[in-house]
Amino acid sequence: MKKKLRVNEFEKLVKNKFNVYNSLFLNLPFRKISNVGMLIPLLHHLSKQGLESAKDPLEILDSFFSTHANIKSEKEKIDFMFRVIQYVERQVVLYDSVEDAAFPELQELDNNLSLKDYIHLLESKKNGDKLLEQLSTFSTRIVFTAHPTQFYPPSVLDVIDKLRTLITKNDINKIDLTLQQLGLTSLINSKKPTPIDEARNIIYFLRNVYYNAIIDLYSYIKKNVPNDNFDNTNIIQFGFWPGGDRDGNPFVTSDVTKNVADQLRMSLMKCYYQEIKGLEKKLTFKELEDLLSDLRDKVYVTMFDSEKTLTFKEIIAPLFTIRETLINNYNSLYLEDLENFIDKVKIFRTHFASLDIRQNHSVHKKTVEEILKK
C-alpha cells in the first residue's frame, strides 16, 4: 500500500511541484507573458526590500520601471501592472491544479476518520450496533455557493481539468503545452454573470459530478454496513445559495428565485430521463415496457416546461412497481441498477438541492406578520 503524506509533507510536495511547473511560465514564448514572468520575482524582491527601508511605494515602482524594465510612459506602467495581475491569476490556476492533483496523497488528519474507516469500525461487535445507529440517523449538508469573481469561462474550466489530470500523470510535455494554452486563454468572462448564470454554472456540477458521485458513495455504504435494510438517503443533502441570496445580492429577486428553482428541477428531470432511457435498454421485458415508457414520457414533458411538474410519489411509485415485478418475475435482473436509480430519486426527490433563502431578518419578520394577519 502506498504511504500517505502528512500535512507538512503534502505542503512540501505541492510547493515543489508548483515551483517546477511554474518555472515553465518563465519561458513561455509570448512577449506579454514571458517578460512579466522574468520580472515579477525581481519586482517582489525590490518591493520587499524597499518597504523594509521605509521607501515610498511609488518611488520603489518608478525605480524598478526605469532601472530594470525600461518602462517610461504612464500607459506602459499601467499595462505592465495589468500583465502582472494576469500572470498571477494563471499562477493561482496552476497552484490549485497541483494541489487538487496531490490531494489523494494526503493522510487523514489526527483522529479524524474517513467514511471507510468508520464503516470498518462497524465490524467490531462491541461498538457496531451503536455506530450503525448513529450512521442510520446521521445527515450532513453540502451547500453550494457562488461569487461572480470566482467564475472562470468554460474554456478555462476545461484547461484546469486537463491540467489536473496531466499533473497527476506528471506528463511534463503536455503540461508545458497546456500552460502555453492557459497563457493565451482569457480568464475573464465576456460579461458579468447574472444570478441565473451563477446558478447554471453550479447546476452543471450538480448534474455532471454530484448526481453520480453521491450514488457511488451511498452504494458503498449500503454494501458494507452489516444491515441489509439500511436506508438513510438523508445522509448527504444539498443546499443551494445562488438564486436565494436576497441579502447579499441586490439582483436576486423573487422571479430569479423561482427561475433558479425551476432550473434545478428541470435539470434533475433531465438526469432522470437519461436514467429511464438507460433502464429501458436493460429491462426489455413485456410487463415493464409500458411502465417505463409511461414514466419516461411524463418526465420528458417536465424537462422543458416550468409549469409541468411531477410529484415525488408520481416518480417513485412506478419504480417500486417495476422493482417488485423484476424480483418476482425476472430473476432480479439488473436490480442493482434499478435500486441505484430509486435511491437517487429518494436523495434528490424533485428539487435536486434546496434553495437557501437568505434575507435581512426585518424582511422575514414583515413577511411572517403579513402571513399571520391573513
What's the pLDDT tens digit per position in 71-113?
888 888 888 888 888 788 888 888 888 887 877 666 555 556 6
- Amino acid present at 169: K
Determine the length of the chain.
Answer: 374
Closest CA to 202 of 157, 248, 242, 161: 242
- 247 within some domain: yes
pLDDT confidence of residue 348: 96
pLDDT confidence of residue 1: 45
- 38 within some domain: no
CA distance 216 to 229: 18
- 300 within some domain: yes
pLDDT confidence of residue 234: 92
- 299 within some domain: yes
Give the strand pairing for 354-355 and 140-144. unpaired
Match 428553482 to its residue by C-alpha cell: 261
Long-range CB pairs of 200-204, under 8 A, 24+ apart, other chains included: 200/263, 201/146, 201/151, 202/144, 202/146, 202/240, 202/242, 203/263, 203/264, 203/267, 203/352
- 303 within some domain: yes
Closest CA to 107 of 214, 221, 11: 11
pLDDT confidence of residue 69: 84
- Indicate the number of domains in the chain: 1
- Amino acid present at 116: K
- 212 within some domain: yes
Query: DSSP per residue over 307-355, as a string?
Result: T----HHHHHHHHHHHHHHHHHHSTTTTHHHHHHHHHHHHHHTTTSSEE
Domain hosting 236: range is 128-151+189-374
- 317 within some domain: yes
Q: Return averaged pLDDT per consecutive 10 residues of the chain, 374 residues in all.
A: 63 83 67 66 90 92 88 87 82 83 65 68 68 85 73 76 86 87 78 82 87 91 84 92 82 91 96 97 94 97 94 97 96 95 96 89 89 94
Task: Show the cell assigned to 366.
Answer: 414583515
pLDDT confidence of residue 316: 97
Instruction: Give 338: exposed, middle or buried? Use CB within 10 Å, 0-12, 13-18, 19+.
Output: buried
- pTM summary value: 0.70
- 208 within some domain: yes
Query: DSSP per residue over 9-30, as a string?
Result: HHHHHHHHHHHHHHHHHTT-S-
CA distance 257 to 241: 10
pLDDT confidence of residue 32: 54
